[in-house]
């Protein structure tokens, strides 16, 4: 293994708490996706990281395994008793039989991928899923512009953000059905622009001015302080 690459991957693993959050917080945040996999078998977590979602699946009695390109992530998962391999996602998926997976989960993966690889990956996943099985792919929401001044460029492995409209459309072109978007991690109220108390203003001209200011604040909040993440969900 290239010593420089090995050091980069180890540093990335050590910085995971800073880049994404603690294992406990990530696990709790991913709990919202568990319902798509309950009652299924042979679920695959692509880019499983430290194994937070695999732990949730195990606790729910869902058979699952994971893959990741970072050996330090793989080692952490194996320390937890999880079934995880160090593999490239496309290479691994191509070798699987069609219609065999009971679901595929990808958290914070697509923003690390070049567009041609992403398109081929999503299409390959489609054919490997069993009928009715779900793909859930969570990523950073570029509709919240504060992600670019915060976590996005703090991660040196990010290539580009993926717009939710584009990702949803791409799944539709491939053939996924019942496609939906789930937005998560809202900006805390104290970090958003505060509205003026229009109802408490007696002067009608000032009240009208305050209403205009509030409308502008709402627009700023929508652009800057929306949800930090979203997930696209599609069924085979």
List the strands of the sheet with 43-46, edge to edge: 84-86, 64-68, 43-46, 101-107, 129-140, 227-235, 177-186
pLDDT for 5 equals 46
* pLDDT confidence of residue 4: 46
Query: Contact 78/20 with Cβ under 8 angstroms?
Result: no
User: Does 206 reside within a domain?
Assistant: no
Kindly state whether residue 118 falls inside one of the protein's structural domains. yes
**Residue 107's domain is classified under what CATH number?**
3.40.50.150
Averaged over 171-182, what is the pLDDT? Answer: 98
Domain that includes residue 63, residue range: 3-188+225-235
pLDDT tens, position by position, 146-173:
888 777 887 888 899 999 999 999 999 9
Overall average pLDDT of the 1-12 stretch: 53
Closest by CA to 64, choosing from 31, 79, 35, 42, is: 42
pLDDT given at position 217: 87
Q: Which of 78, 83, 77, 69 is nearest to 52 (CA)?
A: 77
Residue 95 is predicted with a pLDDT of: 97
92, part of any domain: yes
148 occurs within a structural domain: yes
- Conformational region of residue 148, where left means phi above 0, alpha means psi within -120 to 50, and beta covers everything else: alpha
pLDDT tens per residue across span 37-54: 999 999 999 999 999 999
Q: How many domains does the chain have?
A: 1
137: in domain: yes
Flag whether 179 is in a domain. yes
Q: Residue 15 — very low, low, confident or very high, per pLDDT cuts 50/70/90? A: low
Q: How far apart are alpha carbons 77 and 87 in whole angstroms?
A: 14
Give percent of the chain with pLDDT exceeding 70: 92
Residue with tokens 């009208």: 208
Task: Return all residues near 229 (Cβ < 8 A) that are at least 6 apart.
Answer: 138, 139, 140, 141, 183, 184, 185
Instruction: Say what the pTM is.
Output: 0.85
Quote the distance between the C-alpha of residue 216 and its chain's center.
30
pLDDT confidence bin for 215, thresholds 50/70/90: very high
In a domain, 207, yes or no: no
Q: Say if 15 falls within a structural domain.
A: yes
3-class secondary structure, 59: helix
DSSP one-letter string for 69-126? S-HHHHHHHHHTT--EEE--HHHHHHTSPTT-EEEEEEES-GGGS-HHHHHHHHHHHH
């Amino acid at each position: 293994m290239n010593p420089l690459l090995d050091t980069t991957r180890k540093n990335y693993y050590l910085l995971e708490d800073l880049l994404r959050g603690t294992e406990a917080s990530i696990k709790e945040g991913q709990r919202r996706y568990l319902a798509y996999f309950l009652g299924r078998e042979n679920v695959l977590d692509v880019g499983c990281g430290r194994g937070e979602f695999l732990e949730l699946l195990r606790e729910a009695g869902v058979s699952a395994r994971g893959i990741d390109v970072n050996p330090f992530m793989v080692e952490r998962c194996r320390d937890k008793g999880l079934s995880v391999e160090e593999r490239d996602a496309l290479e691994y998926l191509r070798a699987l039989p069609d219609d065999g997976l009971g679901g595929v989960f990808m958290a914070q993966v697509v923003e690390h991928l070049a567009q041609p690889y992403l398109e081929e990956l999503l299409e390959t996943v489609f054919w490997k899923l069993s009928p009715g099985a779900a793909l859930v792919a969570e990523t950073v929401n570029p509709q919240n512009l504060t992600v670019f001044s915060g976590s996005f460029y703090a991660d040196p492995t990010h290539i580009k953000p993926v717009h939710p409209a584009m990702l949803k459309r791409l799944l539709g072109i491939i053939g996924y059905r019942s496609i939906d978007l789930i937005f998560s991690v809202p900006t805390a109220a104290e970090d958003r622009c505060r509205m003026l108390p229009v109802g408490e203003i007696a002067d009608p001209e000032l009240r009208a001015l305050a209403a205009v200011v509030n409308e502008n604040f709402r627009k700023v909040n929508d652009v800057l302080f929306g949800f930090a993440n979203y997930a696209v969900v599609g069924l085979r």
